[in-house]
Amino acid sequence: MDRCIQGSMCAMTIDGTHMGPYSPGTGMSMVYHYTVGGIANRFRMVKGGIGNLSKALVRALEAHGGEVIYKAQVKRILIEDGRAVGVELRDGRTLSARVVLSSIDANKTFLHLVGEEHCPSDFVHSVREIDYRNGYVQIHLTLSGLPEFTGHMAYINEGDMRWIASYIPSPEYVNRCWQQYRKNEIPEHPLSYYHIPSLLDPTAAPEGYHACTFFSHYFPCEVPEDRHRDMANIMADRVIAEMARFAPNFPEIIVDRAVLTQRYFEKAFGITAGDFCHGLLHPGQMWNRRPVAGYSDYRTPIGGLYMCGSACHPGPGVTGIPGYNGARRVLGDLEGTSAAA
């Protein structure tokens, strides 16, 4: 008999980890998801797409006199006498600042932009130990129709219930995927979830079409460059084949697809190993050890340099919490008050 509730909970325990459902410590990831996502861990969407959230944040910043400089990659954080005094951009421009906040991961911030020569050696060793092995595939599909579920899943065809679903039959199912992934193999029957945002928000796809996204865990971390594309496509084919077991029309309604792995996100956003957590959700990398022990208060060993992204407490996801806490820490330090972070 299937044990879907246990299977689904196991899938949540391994999200953002390099672990299987029976590995010690995975409870941390589940606690994290239920804490930041609320007790029902409800999936929320931004109307018009997640980009609208960024646009709203930019409007708020500009209303307070701020300015966003686009397409401006930071090449170096400028350090003088042990203090951060600004940044140098890739195009050669420099910007000076009273404080610098980094929302990228600790590895990139300290070992690439600051330079380890400016950091205490025990801090550098700790940063080097951060585990970023997070293997996944994100599949974006254009659909010409909607999946029609059959058999015992047919009930979700009603209303807009099928906008989001997964089928994870048991903890053993998740464990089988983990055992294959840890050997650098593609899971034979990948575990995945999908959502169809255009079912709730028609602006998410052109008229007559639907947008659909699958997220699937456990795409191998160590894949040779020349086999990467093929392996990503094999994994996507397997995810789609699993879906077709329950919605047989699914392959026929796919008009177009884009398959993105952690390697894409590494290249596109400069995230170490493509780990969207900026440091996995392992017990040794959470709470007062995030990003590393001794630096969970958003300050860093470099005066005037702060952290404010997912690498910090409490961790990843579109929560705004690390940014809020980091900003309060900076304000408290600048004002000489003790604003709690």
Ligand X SMILES: Cc1cc2nc3c(=O)[nH]c(=O)nc-3n(C[C@H](O)[C@H](O)[C@H](O)COP(=O)(O)OP(=O)(O)OC[C@H]3O[C@@H](n4cnc5c(N)ncnc54)[C@H](O)[C@@H]3O)c2cc1C
Pairing assessment for the beta strands 254-261 and 136-143 based on DSSP bridges = antiparallel
For residues 302 and 294, give the distance between their C-alpha atoms in angstroms, rounded to a whole number. Answer: 13
What is the token pair recorded at 194? 């999908």
Number of residues near ligand X (by CB under 6 A): 17
By rule CB under 6 A, what string of x and - marks binding of each residue 187-216 to ligand X? ----------------------------x-
- Stretch of 154-162, 179-187, 196-204, 271-279 lying at the interface with ligand X (CB under 6 A): 271-279
* Cβ nearer to ligand X, comparing 19 with 74: 74
CB of 207 to ligand X, least distance (A): 26
241 binds ligand X (CB under 6 A): no
248 binds ligand X (CB under 6 A): no
For residues 285 and 311, give the distance between their C-alpha atoms in angstroms, rounded to a whole number. Answer: 9
Enumerate residues 28-87 that contact ligand X by CB under 6 A.
73-74
Residue 118 is given by DSSP the state G
- Stretch of 160-168, 198-206, 219-227, 312-320 lying at the interface with ligand X (CB under 6 A): 312-320
317 binds ligand X (CB under 6 A): yes
For residues 334 and 98, give the distance between their C-alpha atoms in angstroms, rounded to a whole number. Answer: 9
CB of 329 to ligand X, least distance (A): 15
By rule CB under 6 A, what string of x and - marks binding of each residue 150-189 to ligand X? ----------------------------------------
26-34 LR contacts (CB < 8 Å, sep 24+)? 28/281, 28/282, 28/283, 28/286, 29/281, 32/281, 32/286, 32/314, 32/315
Nearest of 253, 184, 251, 256 to residue 222 by alpha carbon: 184
* Cβ nearer to ligand X, comparing 60 with 318: 318
Residue identified by tokens 């044990």 is 3
Q: What is the secondary structure of 243-296 as a DSSP string?
A: HHHH-TTGGGGEEEEEEEEHHHHHHHH--GGG-TTSS---GGGSGGGSSSTT-T
Q: Out of 26, 29, 126, 138, which residue is the one contacting ligand X (CB under 6 A)? A: 138
Residue nearest ligand X (C-beta atom): 309
Distance from chain centroid for Cα 4: 24
Residues forming contacts to ligand X in the complex (CB under 6 A) are 73-74, 103-104, 138, 215, 265, 269-271, 276, 278, 309-310, 316-318
